[in-house]
Amino acid sequence: MSRLDQIVPKIRTKNAGPFWLTVDIFCGERRIFDHLKDSLQTDQVAQAFHQPIAALKRFDIAHLNVIKFSLPRIVVQGSRADRDMHASQWAWLVGGIEVPTP
């Protein structure tokens, strides 16, 4: 098994407006994309954010070799409990997901 951030070149998280979080996993090449399309489970990403799987939308975007997830922000941007105004450091959580080594 490998950490996701050891096999893809970039993982980006970002606000998509104050109420949504979007996660872009840039696989870099088709071989990695095809591998992760099957081996990265949506449930793993849901668990990283402690959210139910039904909260996540998943997009496997072959022409960009990108796997994208979007989910309602766990706390609304800028509210008292928010810790990351731009939601950019949450990428680290996704990077730590364990997947089979390609």
Partner 1 sequence: MATRVLIPNGAIGLGFDAAALARGVRMRPDIICVDGGSTDSGPYYLGTGTSKYSRAATLSEWRALMLARAEAGVPLVVGTAGTCGTDSTVDWMYDITVELARELGHKVRIARLYSSQHTGDVARGWDRVRPLEPVQPVTAADCEGLTNIVALAGAEQIGAALSAGADIVIAGRTTDTATIAALPLQRGMHAGAAWHGAKIGECGALCSTNPTSGVIVIDFDTEGFTVTPMAEGAACTPELVAAHMLYENADPFILHEPGGHLDVSRARYEALDATRVRVTGSTWVPAKDYTVKLEGARLAGYQSTILALLREPRYVQNAQAWVDRLSRFLDEQIHSRMGLTAPKDYTLDFRLIGQNATLGGLETAAPTAAEVGVLAIVTAPNQARASEIAKLANPFLLHYPLTDDEPQATFAFPFSPADWARGPLYEFVLNHVMILDDPMSAFRLEVTEVSHVPA
Among residues 29, 38, 43, 59, which is the contact residue for partner 1, using CB under 8 A?
59
The three-point CA angle 21-49-54 to 5° equals: 80
* 93 contacts partner 1 (rule: CB under 8 A): yes
* 85 contacts partner 1 (rule: CB under 8 A): yes
Among residues 52, 72, 100, 102, which is the contact residue for partner 1, using CB under 8 A?
72
Q: How far apart are CA 89 and CA 77, in angstroms?
A: 13
Say if CB 33 and CB 67 are below 8 A apart.
Answer: yes
To partner 1, the closest distance from the beta carbon of 102 in angstroms equals 21
* 63 contacts partner 1 (rule: CB under 8 A): yes
* 50 contacts partner 1 (rule: CB under 8 A): yes
Q: Which helix (H) or strand (E) holds 10?
A: strand 10-15
* 76 contacts partner 1 (rule: CB under 8 A): yes
CA Rg, the chain, in Å? Answer: 13
